[in-house]
Chain A
Amino acid sequence: EVQLVQSGAEVKKPGESLKISCKGSGYNFTNYWIAWVRQMPGKGLEWMGIIYPGDSDTKYGPSFQGRVTFSADKSISTAYLQWSSLQASDTAIFYCARQTDYSSSSRTINWFDSWGQGTLVTVSS
């Protein structure tokens, strides 16, 4: 069974750093992109970007480029999302998700077929 298990809830102060994790099991972790998705309180889903654990290739959404960093340790099947200086506006639930790709004749199609349970990050002074 494919599973993504995320680290627990965090409460931080503005300006602090943070690294949350997403551990995959039940599949070859290095062969699938991992996506990060933000959900601010009472709001919808926002695609933050993706990382390929096999070679740590990353793609960031424009709203998140320079604000967060994705990393992965394929030896322990874990992806990370980190901030160097949190702001109150970073308060949200963050989900990781496995991206499954299918290559058709023209381009690759993909979807998020397994999700972590989410990590609530609260940033407050």
Chain B
Amino acid sequence: DIQMTQSPSSLSASVGDRVTFTCRASQSISKYLNWYQQKPGKAPKLLIYATFSLQNGVPSRLSGSGSGTDFTLTITSLQPEDFATYYCQQSYSTPYTFGQGTKLEIK
């Protein structure tokens, strides 16, 4: 199985900040990396698929990059609605494993 490791596990930031989340795969997964956001008590929501592609309706202050084993999700100019937990997920091979998540909290 491919292991996905996210860092940091938690992050404190302020509205207006720029933040970057990191996701590392235990082996190369090319560009097969997706990012989801989950708020407490809610289902996950797709943000970015195939490393770079923004899901419909997701604001352009979010962006994804990377390839191979190292990937990042960047949010510029944090908004109050961005405070949530973020998960990466590889879709290179089954089982399509998730990272353990990064919780973004308000400073």
- 8 Å CB contact of A45 from B44, B49, B94: B44
Task: Identify the stretch in A8-16, A83-91, A112-120 within 8 Å (CB) of chain B at 4 or more residues.
Answer: A112-120
CA–CA, A74 and B100, complex, Å: 33
Residues of A within 8 A of B94 (CB): 47, 49-50, 59, 61
19 contacts between A and B (CB under 8 A): A37-B44, A44-B87, A44-B101, A45-B38, A46-B98, A47-B96, A47-B98, A50-B94, A61-B94, A95-B43, A97-B44, A102-B50, A109-B32, A109-B49, A109-B50, A112-B36, A113-B46, A113-B55, A118-B43
Number of chain A residues close to chain B: CB under 8 A: 23
Over the window 90-101 of chain B, the binary record of Cβ atoms lying under 8 Å from chain A Cβ atoms (1 yes, 0 no) is: 010011111111
By the criterion CB–CB under 8 Å, are B44 and A111 in contact? no
CA–CA, A37 and B43, complex, Å: 10
Q: What 5 A-B pairs have minimum CB-CB distances, sorted nearest first? A: A111-B49, A61-B95, A115-B43, A45-B98, A111-B34
From B46, which residue of chain A is reached at the shortest CB distance? A113
Chain A CB count within 10 A is highest, among B34, B36, B43, B89, for B43
Over the window 9-40 of chain A, the binary record of Cβ atoms lying under 8 Å from chain B Cβ atoms (1 yes, 0 no) is: 00000000000000000000000000101000
Chain B interface residues (CB < 8 Å from chain A): 1, 31-32, 34, 36, 38, 43-46, 49-50, 55, 87, 89, 91, 94-101
Contacts A111-B91, A113-B46, A117-B43; A44 near B36 (Cβ below 8 A): no
Contacts beyond the supplied A47-B98, A61-B94, A111-B91: 5 A-B pairs with Cβ under 8 Å? A44-B99, A47-B89, A95-B44, A111-B49, A117-B43
**B93 CB, min distance to chain A CBs, angstroms:** 9
By the criterion CB–CB under 8 Å, are A44 and B98 in contact? yes
Residues of A within 8 A of B45 (CB): 115
By the criterion CB–CB under 8 Å, are A47 and B50 in contact? no
